Amino acid sequence: MIFGFKIINSVYSVRKESGATLILLLFIIALAATAYSLKVFDASDLKAERDRKTMLALAEAKTALLGYAASPNLNAICTSSNCPRPGDLPCPDTNNDGVKETTCGNASGTTSQAARLGRLPWKSLGLEDIRDGNGERLWYAVSSRYKENSRFSPLNSDSVGTISLRDSTGNLISTSLVAIVFSAGPPLVRQDGVLQLRDTANENVASNYLDIAFGEDNADFVDGTNNGFIIGPIRSVTGSDMVNDKLLTITQSDMIPVIETRVLAESQNGLLDYYCGLGNVNYSTKSCSGAGGFFPKPASFSDTGCLGNVAIGTGTCGEGTLTHGRISANPTIPWTSTSIFRGTSVGNWFQLNAWRELIHYAVAPACMTGTTNCLGSGGFLTLNNSIVTPVNIKQFILIATGVTLPTQLRTSALDKSAEANYLEGENLFPLDNSYIRTSPLTNAINDRAISLP
């Protein structure tokens, strides 16, 4: 009996130890599963955070580039046809010092193609040393038509970009982008066999950062062709990265509000200089420091002498008989020698970029040539939906006529003589001296209007 008891006790001990071992094993498995899930969660969480930082960096870069385009120094002395103008974008940084290069090709864009792709010139944009989620500096490509040196003219609302882009399946989705900002993902082996190296010796070689797929190489492009860029991410059939570049585009639609807003502001100030006398304007309050004079009558919209971006001679594009049209190059009392509205194209960004074609000008009968201090007869203009009220005491109204809409044509001189190819809605019927400010602008009405007051 004692022997049997010992056997039973031994069996019991073995079972007890086995149970403890099983519990311990289950605990270890549970712990491992938890650790694995935490690892997966952490990896996913870290990737999401990297992606968030990358998108924030790209958005900050785009905002800075648009701000740069809106704020060129238009008062800089310029005696050539290569003058600062609204819409200018910097040349890329090709040596990784954060500073834009002084030039990235001739005016037509037939030279220095490679110089239009490089790193974002963060110092020149007034930014901190922004990095993407992987700690890398951003890359940047600019269209030959929007680069600031040497400048292609004209640059205005109808100027399309020259950069093409494909989606992640290789389909061409645009041929008219203005600029692109890139985040280069982690290094990989490119489809062409290049192992990306990012040491100091290789830091300025685009192929060590930007990728290739379906024959489209993000490390180079050619303006005005289908050789452009491709959107990532793209993975191979085995799941490995082929393209891990992330990008953000700048389009013509992004640029138009920036450019037109600045041009309208400068045009408003130019008319105030004429009315108040140069040096007698408070631009903040849009008022004269003394008595006012008058605003010039517009040139007729059908006056073909006002068209183009070459010099307009004396006696051409003079004042018309109506209260609306284009800004005259040769009013009865001439513009000052520094006015942007002069017909000369040398040192004059307004004329060089054919803005006279795209800015519609209406003046109140009470304020135009032959009156003083807006005390003439005939009343004022109305700008419905104006930011500044009342809406019916406007001395002048300026309208940036926007990009050519599908129903409009601006090819020939005859096309450009018709207001219907520039204005929409109520603005197209100005005989009642009544106009409208539309916000937001649409594909049906894209007239951007401001007034005084």
Q: What is the pLDDT of residues 179-195, one digit of tens each?
A: 999 999 999 999 999 99
Domain presence at residue 117:
yes
Model pLDDT, residue 22:
60
Statement to judge: residues 73 and 215 lie in one domain: yes
Model pLDDT, residue 45:
83
Q: Which of 142, 182, 148 is nearest to 161 (CA)?
A: 142
Domain presence at residue 441:
yes
Model pLDDT, residue 12:
44
* For helices 252-276 and 2-70, angle between their N-to-C axes, nearest 10 degrees: 30
Tens-place pLDDT, residues 276-305: 999 999 999 999 998 899 999 999 999 999
Statement to judge: residues 407 and 436 lie in one domain: yes
**Residue 235 amino acid letter:** R
Model pLDDT, residue 430:
76
In the predicted structure, residue 443 carries a pLDDT above the cut 70: yes
95-109, 112-126, 422-436: segment of lowest average pLDDT:
422-436
Give the domain-ending residue among 181, 216, 250.
250
Statement to judge: residues 388 and 407 lie in one domain: yes
Model pLDDT, residue 7:
41
State how far the Cα of 101 lies from the Cα of 124, in Å rounded to an integer. Answer: 10
Name the band, by pLDDT with cuts 50, 70 and 90, for residue 11.
very low
Statement to judge: residues 199 and 158 lie in one domain: yes
* Proportion of the chain above pLDDT 90, given as a percent: 87
Name the band, by pLDDT with cuts 50, 70 and 90, for residue 37.
low
Q: Describe the strand order of the beta sheet including 396-400 as a list of residue ranges.
A: 324-326, 359-363, 396-400, 448-452
Tens-place pLDDT, residues 371-410: 999 999 999 999 999 999 999 999 999 999 999 999 999 9
**Residue 108 amino acid letter:** S
Statement to judge: residues 271 and 227 lie in one domain: no
Model pLDDT, residue 27:
59
In the predicted structure, residue 435 carries a pLDDT above the cut 70: yes
Total number of domains constituting the chain: 2
Give the domain-ending residue among 235, 250, 265.
250
Other CB atoms within 10 Å distance of the CB of residue 61: 25
Q: How many residues does the chain have?
A: 453
Domain presence at residue 388:
yes
Domain of 277, in residue numbers: 255-452
Statement to judge: residues 194 and 89 lie in one domain: yes
* Proportion of the chain above pLDDT 70, given as a percent: 91
In the predicted structure, residue 51 carries a pLDDT above the cut 80: yes
Statement to judge: residues 172 and 75 lie in one domain: yes
Q: Report the pLDDT averaged over residues 131-153.
A: 98
Statement to judge: residues 130 and 174 lie in one domain: yes
Tens-place pLDDT, residues 242-279: 999 999 999 999 999 999 999 999 999 999 999 999 99
Name the band, by pLDDT with cuts 50, 70 and 90, for residue 8.
very low
- Cis amide leading into 150 (omega within 30): yes
Statement to judge: residues 243 and 361 lie in one domain: no
Domain presence at residue 30:
no
Name the band, by pLDDT with cuts 50, 70 and 90, for residue 428.
very high
Statement to judge: residues 232 and 289 lie in one domain: no
Residues 6+ apart with CB under 8 A from 419: 301, 360, 428
Model pLDDT, residue 90:
99
Domain presence at residue 26:
no
Q: Report the pLDDT averaged over residues 72-98.
A: 96
Statement to judge: residues 245 and 274 lie in one domain: no
Statement to judge: residues 265 and 366 lie in one domain: yes
State how far the Cα of 334 lies from the Cα of 311, in Å rounded to an integer. Answer: 16
In the predicted structure, residue 19 carries a pLDDT above the cut 80: no
Pair type for strands 287-288 and 396-400: unpaired
Domain presence at residue 319:
yes
Q: Which of 326, 325, 351, 327 is nearest to 338 (CA)?
A: 351
Tens-place pLDDT, residues 215-232: 999 999 999 999 999 999
Give the domain-ending residue among 250, 272, 300.
250
Across all residues in the chain, what is the average pLDDT? 93
Domain presence at residue 424:
yes
Domain presence at residue 13:
no
